[in-house]
Structure 1
Amino acid sequence: MRVVLVTYGSRGDVEPMTGLALQLQALGAKVRVCAPPDLADLLDDVGVPLSPFAWPIRALATGGVPGKTSLADIAADLTAMAYEAVTELAEDCAAVVATGSFPAVAGARSAAEKLHVPYMHASLSPCYLPSPHHPPLRWPGQVIPPEVTGNRELWELNAERMNTMFGETVNAHRASVGLPPVDRLRDHVFTDHPFLAADPVLGPWQETPELAVAHTGAWIRPDERPLPADLEAFLSAGEEPVYVGFGSMPMRGATAQDLSQAVVEAVRTQGRRVLLGSGWADLTLVDDRDDCFVIGEVNQQELFRRVAAVVHHGGAGTTRTAARAGAPQVLVPQVADQPYWAGRVAELGIGTGHDGPTPTAESLSAALKIALAPETAARAAAVAKTIRTDGANRAARLLLDKIAQS
């Protein structure tokens, strides 16, 4: 039995698919993952075969793909490239599961349809799925008519917006491969039976008659790598530091040096040592004091158990990893579902959201004061005990059951 998993996005999109792939393999399925070429190491490390497609995700995120400046051009190419990648791999396979960039998922959906292969969409956040119980995320610059206030009406606007942004592009591609057009593109791509790969405590879902959501819990790739020796030495040399890192997120609004200066000063103001995750924000040392250390990519599942707090961009994976480790959090949301996770962290009392996307020393220090309070640490420790770790296994078993019944 072969299953094709498709994702086009940053590390936060590829890690969950890696977790699902490992569980599927453990249950006897053969798995192939389609993902950006610059994230191949995530799959190589665990022996999951990768079929790279499209551009390196960092190049696209930072404007480094020549000639690709308009959303229409990017969407058209991503749809076509995902379709081609899945078509090459998915003939006679048992299922296609897709998440990540909407145009890429739309291409994967079309390929599965063309090949008559069962298709499942996976959402990594509840806020992406239509529901009368919560409003959709707002698009940057979106103006909502004052008379539109109900969640159902807001989701209708969301569906119309998705059609406007991607409908012509996706339907043109569908026509080119002999598929009929679709009217409600969002619902076609998401389906009425998606997976929700989010922790039930961090990202709860209220049942709705419109969707049969399989809320499995987050898809976690277990990480057993030891921490580097120099990092171990830094951690052992003093009190627990505050970790600051923004992962696969270029932070706009400040230079790397200015941002580094602001976050280091903010942490020092709270009397803590600083651990900087360089990431796409290129955080770096600002002086030669021994209370600050810079790291690259490491095992965050282990690291976050040994820090006083985690300051990050608010990606679903980092939020869950910090919550599972019992580390208080400060989220500095930039785009997409990151404001949702900031809100959830604040609601749960395990940290706070930063006001605005560009932290200053003063604003981040104020947020850290909340995160480092004893009551926040106590609450974070309590919530950590409730975070599920079996989501990928549950999803793999559900998927294989669906395949067996089809």
Structure 2
Amino acid sequence: MAGLAWALRERGAEVRVCAPPDQEFAELLAGVGVPHVPFGRSVRALVTGAAPPARSAPAVAAELVAEHFGTAAAAAEGCDAVVASGLLPAGVRSVAEKLGIHYVCALFQPWVLPSPNYPPGPRPGPPFPPGVTDNRVLWDLDAEKVDALYGAALNTHRASIGLPPVSNVRDHTLTDAPWLAADPVLAPGKELTGHDVVQTGAWVLPDERPLPDDLVAFLDAGEPPVYVGFGSMPLRTSPDAARVAVEAVRGRGRRVLVSRGWAGLHPADDRDDCFAVGEVNHQALFRRVAAVVHHGGAGTTTTAARAGAPQVVVPQIVDQPYWAGRVAGLGIGVAHDGPVPTVASLSAALATALAPETRRRARAVAGAMRSDGASVAAQRLIDTVGHDRPRPSA
């Protein structure tokens, strides 16, 4: 979203972004000169366990819907368009409808779109009936789950602003032509889903920050290291992940670069073949590593792929298994089997990722990826808003 905001600002548009109140998001948006409207709960507190446990899934869904009709609606006042994303931004389309402005549902991966080609992912609610394998049937049941989670809250809020009820919350929120902010090489939209998606390419915020001097010194002191980082993932299922990763990488004769992330990873010892980093420019760093071991978030996967770096994806939640499968399917890395790596399993994955043919394939895929996704989306949005405006009378 910061990448899209930057591209819109480059074209003279005014932008404001609703995002969780975490300092990281506020700083990111401040860096592109965009007002940050705090929205919802702290993501860091939720994923690290610092916040109280979440209430029931329907209660959390109702809370999100209320935020959309409250915080997001207030932020959208005076705007020409609203772009919504998230697991399911139920309510934002209703806000746009009431305000009479353009609405876009933006997805960062295609797997949430109903398709006969794959089943729906996990969602709170009753399990699917055993033995049902027809994807169309499963997606119909998924729609029922979404209605059970969001329907009552959404339609109560719609009624309060004079709008009629909707009967399929999922499809109403996604629209008939959602935008897919993912690279067509990494995540082919229409080919995979069968939907008439508007695929803009990934929204990447250019990062011109220099790498820290001590990190550059480490990189210059030997062969390219293997980067290990899991971003915002708390890794509760694998608290020993840093030690496991360092041991596996060393076993392959490579130096190690450990990213602390929200899990607070750190090297197990002070040997000079291992270095720890915090928040750094991944666009620059990933061009200088032998491989990237990560959780499979959309951003990290895209950044590593654009850098031509082989990957080992250890998926934890939500869309991460999808990205792991894409990395493996493209031959640019390995999908680790499950969220908990061992020294043996990670070592085996690294053997494939560090092979010369994987490096060659990763570089070939990098050369085929596009870099203009945010610009394409920004221009399309501006053109659409301009087309939708009523023409002045003569």
Under a length normalisation based on structure 2, what TM-score does the superposition of the two structures give?
0.93
Provide the residue aligned with 1:267 in structure 2.
Answer: 249
In the alignment, is the contact (CA less than 8 A) between 1:354 and 1:364 conserved in 2? yes
Instruction: Name the counterpart of 1:144.
Output: 128
- d(CA) in 2 for partners of 1:172, 1:250: 35
For the Cα contact (< 8 Å) 1:342–1:352, is it kept in 2?
A: yes
Structure 2 segments unaligned to the other structure (5+ residues): 389-394
Counting matched residue pairs gives 386
Could you tell me how far 1:142 is from its partner in structure 2? 7.0
Distance verdict in 2 for CA 1:84–1:140, change over 3 Å? closer
Instruction: Work out whether 1:22 is the aligned partner of 2:22.
Output: no
Q: 2:293 aligns with which of 299, 311, 314?
A: 311
Deviation of the 1:111 alpha carbon: 1.9
Matches within 5 A, 1:245-260: 245-255=229-239, 258-260=240-242
Q: Is the contact between residue 241 and residue 274 of structure 1 (CA under 8 Å) also seen in structure 2?
A: yes
Q: 2:28 aligns with which of 42, 60, 78?
A: 42
> Which one of 84, 94, 103 corresponds to residue 70 of structure 2?
84
Q: Give the distance between the partners of 1:325 and 1:204, measured in 2 at CA.
A: 19
- Map of 1:344-383 to 2, 5 A cutoff? 344-383=326-365
Give CA-to-partner distance per residue, 1:124-143, whole Å, 9 cap, x none: 00111122333322448974
Counterpart in the other structure of 1:199: 183
Which of 258, 281, 287 matches 1:299?
Answer: 281
Alpha-carbon contact 1:63-1:69 (below 8 Å) kept: no
Q: 1:334 to 1:209 in 2, by over 3 A?
A: closer
Give secondary structure in 1 for the equivalent of 2:296. coil
Cα pair 2:81 2:103 within 8 Å, conserved: yes
The range that moved more, 23-32 or 83-92, is 83-92
Are residue 64 (structure 1) and residue 63 (structure 2) matched? no
1:320 and 2:306 aligned: no
State the AA in 2 paired with 1:293: F
**Paired residue type of 2:5:** A
Partner of 2:104: 120
Partner of 2:38: 52
Conservation of the 8 A alpha-carbon contact between 1:127 and 1:340: yes
Q: What amino acid maps onto 1:298 in structure 2? A: V
1:235 to 213, 219, 225: 219
Report whether the alignment pairs 1:96 with 2:82.
yes
CA deviation digits over 1:307-341, x for unaligned, max 9?
00000000111001000000000000111111111
Following the alignment from structure 2 to structure 1, what is the Cα–Cα distance between the partners of residues 126 and 190? Answer: 26
Compared with structure 1, are the counterparts of its residues 210 and 368 closer, same or farther at alpha carbon in structure 2 (3 Å cutoff)? closer
Question: Given the superposition, is the C-alpha separation of residues 372 and 141 from structure 1 closer, same or farther in structure 2, using an over 3 Å criterion?
Answer: farther
Q: Which amino acid aligns with 2:147?
A: N
- Give 3-state SS (helix, strand or coil) of 1:368's partner: helix
Alignment-mate amino acid for residue 292 of structure 1: C
Select between 175-184 and 270-279 the one with higher mean Cα deviation: 175-184
Q: In terms of mean alpha carbon deviation, does 81-90 or 192-201 score higher?
A: 81-90
TM-score, length of structure 1 as denominator length:
0.90
Distance of 2:124 and 2:249 partners within structure 1:
30
Most deviating of 323-332 and 21-30: 21-30
Aligned-partner Cα distance in 1 for 2:363–2:276: 26
Is the CA contact (8 Å cut-off) linking 1:133 and 1:206 kept in structure 2?
Answer: no
CA distance in 1, matches of 2:115, 2:168: 16
What amino acid is aligned across from residue 112 of structure 1 in structure 2? A
**Alignment check: 8 A CA contact 1:86 1:112 kept:** no
Query: Cα distance, 1:89 vs. partner?
Result: 2.2
1:232–1:140 distance in 2 versus 1, CA, 3 Å: farther
Q: Is the 8 A contact 2:16 2:37 kept in 1?
A: yes
How far off its partner does 1:63 sit?
3.5
Corresponding residue number in structure 1 for 2:142: 158
Contact 2:69 2:157 in 1 (8 A): no
1:328–1:372 contact (8 Å) kept in structure 2 = yes
Offset at 1:265?
0.5
SS at match of 2:117: coil
Once the two structures are TM-superposed, the CA of residue 296 in structure 1 deviates from its matched residue by 0.5
Stretch moving more, 31-40 or 65-74:
65-74
1:217 to 197, 201, 217: 201
Q: C-alpha displacement at 1:172, in angstroms?
A: 3.2
User: What is residue 269 of structure 2 aligned with on the other side?
Assistant: 287
Gaps of 5+ in 1: 1-16
CA distance in 2: counterparts of 1:388 and 1:86, whole angstroms: 31
Q: Equivalent pairs: percent with the same residue?
A: 60
Q: Which amino acid aligns with 1:71?
A: A
Is the contact made by 2:190 and 2:197 (CA closer than 8 Å) also made in structure 1?
Answer: no
